[in-house]
Amino acid sequence: MSIIKALNWRYATKKMDSDQKVQQDKVDQIIAAAQLAPSGYGLQPYKIIVVTNQELKEKIRAVGYNQSQITDCSHLLIFAAWDLYTEKRVLEVFRHTNRQRGLPEDKSRDNIDYILGVFEKMTSEEQFNHAARQSYISFGIAITEAALLGVDATPMEGFDPLNVDKLLGLKEQGLRSTTLLPLGYRDENEDWLVNLKKVRTPLTDFVIEFK
């Protein structure tokens, strides 16, 4: 299936079939695609948390505006961004990269100093917002890969991030939740959106050209 065909097939599934489970190899492939997403300075300042525990999903639903996809889905992916760009975090990324490439540990020192200088000028909230935007790139790629695999996904910002962070102990890990992505299969008999035409802004209005 082409990406365009897959994206025309997908929609924000409103009702999932709780009896259908997504095969683990497909979940792994969706996560692998998200891992390969580009990010600012290559830092990947976010994590993906995978929840299959039904009791925990019930608790998340309670702070997620009671959206049924959270509990009916097969796997709930939670994207969580760094709360801060610390020197330790940036160093760890570059040390890992240099080890994998067989380069000296100090090879990236100038680049590291430049990056740290950029983030030192930002407030803590600006740093988090930057990291959150990077998580959204990965989030979008996960949605696209899910569509290519014929897996339904519902992008969600409608939840209480502070309470989700408490449930998952994210503050202690220096993380803040940004988005939820339930994965599963649509309930074609119960989902009111399943047969409605996909509508987007016409390309003539969507694209602005300077020639």
CB 137 within 8 A of CB 126: no
Domains and CATH numbers, the chain: 3-88+123-206 (3.40.109.10)
pLDDT one digit per residue (tens) for the chain, 211 residues: 799 999 999 999 999 999 999 999 999 999 999 999 999 999 999 999 999 999 999 999 999 999 999 999 999 999 999 999 999 999 999 999 999 999 998 889 999 999 999 999 999 999 999 999 999 999 999 999 999 999 999 999 999 999 999 999 999 999 999 999 999 999 999 999 999 999 999 999 999 999 9
Give Cβ neighbours of residue 10 (< 8 Å, ≥ 6 apart). Answer: 143, 146, 147, 152, 153
HSE (CB half, 13 Å, CA atoms) of 152? 24
Q: Tell me the HSE value of 164 on the side-chain side, using a 13 A CA sphere.
A: 26
